[in-house]
Amino acid sequence: MDRKQMCVANVQYKKPSADGAKQSKNLLRYLTYRESRDEAARHVTGRERWTDHGMGGSVAEIAQRCDDLKSEHVLTFSLVCNPNPDLIAMVALEEREQFVRELTENMVNGFFDERGLDTGVEFSFVMHHRLTDDPQTPGLHDPHTHIVLPGTVYDEEHGQRVPLFFSRNRKVNHIDLLHDVTERMMVAQMERYVGPDWERRYDELAEVREQERQVVADEPHGVMLDNKGEGWDVWCGTRRTDEQQTAIGFYRWYAAATEDDPDVLRLEFRPLVSGLSHEQAAFFARVLAREMNGEMEKLKELTELA
pLDDT band for 277, please (50, 70, 90 cuts). very high
Residue 46 pLDDT > 80, yes or no? no
Quick one: pLDDT band at residue 47, thresholds 50, 70, 90? low
Q: What is the mean pLDDT of residues 127-151?
A: 93
Domains of the chain: 3-196 (3.30.930), 215-305 (no CATH)
3-state SS, 222-290, equals: EEEECCCCCEEEEEEEEEECCCCCEEEEEEEEEECCCCCCCCCEEEEEEEEEEEECHHHHHHHHHHHHH
Beta strand 294-295 pairing with 222-225 = parallel
Helix axes 59-68, 18-33, angle to 10 degrees: 150
| pLDDT tens by residue, 248-275 | 999 999 877 666 777 788 899 999 999 9
Tell me if residue 216 falls in helix, strand or coil. helix
pLDDT of residue 172: 85
Residue 49: per-residue pLDDT: 87
Say if residue 141's pLDDT is above 90: yes
- Per the document, the length of the chain is 306
Inter-residue contact 124 to 63 (CB < 8 Å): no
pLDDT tens-digit readout, 180-237? 999 999 999 999 999 999 999 999 999 999 999 999 999 999 998 877 778 889 999 9
pTM: 0.89
Identify which has the larger pLDDT, 229 or 302.
Answer: 302
